[in-house]
Structure 1
């Protein structure tokens, strides 16, 4: 399984979430399969987007595309950190 962890601050969570939701179709077409959105307990505008992807290459192509750079600017995203991950193991305790 391939994952992407994105940590970024947004100007306003509600505005960011609207743009995020509107981009659901293009995220799915690009290869995003499942996602979670989390926030820092002490900062509601510090957002974590964790998602699984069809491949790391698909994720990089999407997140580094000019289209997404524009969408991030419209959503008020400040300096995102992208971390590309491959699963080694999972379990339930």
Structure 2
């Protein structure tokens, strides 16, 4: 199991969440097995998202989607996200 962690700040959590929730069909069609959203206790606009994939290749392909980049721009992400990929052991 491969998990992608993405942490970023958004300009408005509520607006970002609408875009994120509207992206679920693209996630499902592109190998996302499960996902979760975490919000910082100190800053509601500091978000960490996890997506689980069956393989590292599926995770890499998802992260390269132009649809994903477009959704991130539309969602109001501030600055560059911090992204890391981990394998469940």
- Name the TM-score, length of structure 1 as normaliser: 0.87
Give unmatched runs, 5+ long, in structure 2.
Answer: none
Give unmatched runs, 5+ long, in structure 1.
Answer: 89-93
Over the aligned positions, Cα root-mean-square deviation in angstroms equals 1.1
- Name the TM-score, length of structure 2 as normaliser: 0.91
Structure having the higher Rg = 1
Q: Distance in 2 between matches of 1:81 and 1:59?
A: 15
Query: Number of paired residues?
Result: 88
2:7 match: secondary structure: strand
Could you list the per-position Cα deviations for residues 24-62 of structure 1 after superposition, in whole angstroms to 9, with x for gaps in the alignment? 010011111111111111010000101211222212212
- List structure 1 segments (4+ residues) > 6 angstroms apart after TM superposition: none
